[in-house]
Amino acid sequence: MDYGITDQTQITALSGPATVVGIIWYVLVAIALWKTFTKAGYPGILAIIPVVNLIFLVKIAGFSGWMVLLYLIPIVNVILALIVAIKVGGNFGKGPFFSILLLWLLPFIGYFVIGFGSAQYRKA
């Protein structure tokens, strides 16, 4: 199939807004995780580094940092993300409904609530 110059231009034009939305999403999650990490006793700057923030999020959940390697396995990563969200929510005094809805499905909202709210970290 032969794609013309207009097709390539349209593909390139669509990638610009998606990139901007992705960067905004990442910045929001990093800010929320920064406050969450600070409450848990870890340096907040670790929330900016993409893989390191997962390692410390798993540690906040009460697991070994090595469990972050399970995020590389398809399907297992979704289950692990759900378990980590429930454990992190529990360590901050939130129930499983809050954890599944706001920490797993809408993480930038959930971590803002935990980070900037009155939740206190209790180590497992």
Q: Which amino acid is at 11?
A: I
Helix orientation angle between 50-60 and 5-40, rounded to the nearest 10 degrees: 40
Domain ranges of the chain: 5-116
CA angle, 102 then 108 then 114, to 5° = 65
pLDDT value, residue 94: 95
- How confident is the model over 75-113, as pLDDT tens digits? 999 999 999 999 999 999 999 999 999 999 999 899 999
Q: Give pTM, 2 decimals.
A: 0.83
Task: Judge whether residue 6 has pLDDT over 70.
Answer: no
Which residues, other chains included, contact 75 with Cβ-Cβ below 8 Å and sequence gap of 6+? Answer: none
Q: Are 76 and 67 in contact (CB under 8 A)?
A: no
- How confident is the model over 17-62, as pLDDT tens digits? 888 888 999 999 999 999 999 999 999 999 999 999 999 999 999 9
Q: Which amino acid is at 20?
A: V
